[in-house]
A and B are shown apart, each in its own frame.
Chain A
Amino acid sequence: AQRVTQPEKLLSVFKGAPVELKCNYSYSGSPELFWYVQYSRQRLQLLLRHISRESIKGFTADLNKGETSFHLKKPFAQEEDSAMYYCALSEAGGYQKVTFGTGTKLQVIP
């Protein structure tokens, strides 16, 4: 069965400090990994996906198939990064359902 694990419910960091939101997954096939973000009073939106290898708002995430991880990183946290972050996966290249982790609330302290 596919599963996404985010071990931290809450992560508090000071502004300017590095951020790492952890995500591990289990999936028998070939997954596509995502990070979704939900800012206060806004809808869930895609932040980045592993196949695009982009850096969005300074965030990056590298898929490590050996460790089955997809941690989200940013070198210097900003106050506007405070939000709920969800790691997710789906079957690569399909219309398939998205499986989400429980989410990590990132709180950036000014």
Chain B
Amino acid sequence: EAGVTQFPSHSVIEKGQTVTLRCDPISGHDNLYWYRRVMGKEIKFLLHFVKESKQDESGMPNNRFLAERTGGTYSTLKVQPAELEDSGVYFCASSQDRLGVEQFFGPGTRLTVL
């Protein structure tokens, strides 16, 4: 079974540009999560989808970040316009629609904003 996949693996952009990150969860997983780790800090929660609905977006840093999950399958996270402090590794995770189950993580997308 394929795991969670993320694209691209690495993105280098200039401040002010737009970047879109993609996450494909494990097939059949209704729950999809985005996390971020900025340099030297902990991995922080950004938001949680249940199918196509945003269940919890309390971790989104500001309105430059937009997450979507149209159709309840893959998800995109757009940063527009990107700032230097957005640099970090963005992780996606997914889990089944059962209480207390494990979240499976993708390999992450390393975003560098110059």
- Contact mask B58-80 → A, CB, 8 Å, 1/0? 11000000000000000000000
List chain A residues, Cβ under 8 A from B50.
95
Is B106 engaged at the interface, CB distance under 8 Å to the other chain? yes
Is B17 engaged at the interface, CB distance under 8 Å to the other chain? no
- Please provide the chain A residues from 30 to 51 with a CB less than 8 Å away from any CB of chain B in the complex: 32, 43-46, 49, 51
Contact of A95 among B4, B31, B41, B105 (CB under 8 A): B31
Whether B45 lies near A99 (C-beta < 8 A) is yes
Q: How many A residues touch the partner, as a band?
A: 20 to 34
Contact of B99 among A94, A97, A101 (CB under 8 A): A94
Closest chain B residue, CB of each to CB of A102: B42
In the assembled complex, the CB of B109 is this many whole angstroms from the nearest CB of chain A, namely: 12
In the assembled complex, the CB of B114 is this many whole angstroms from the nearest CB of chain A, namely: 25
Q: Hey, which bits of chain A sit against chain B, CB under 8 A?
A: 4, 32, 43-46, 49, 51, 86, 92-103
Q: Hey, which bits of chain B sit against chain A, CB under 8 A?
A: 3-4, 31, 33, 35, 40-45, 48, 50, 55-56, 58-59, 91, 93, 95, 99-100, 102-108
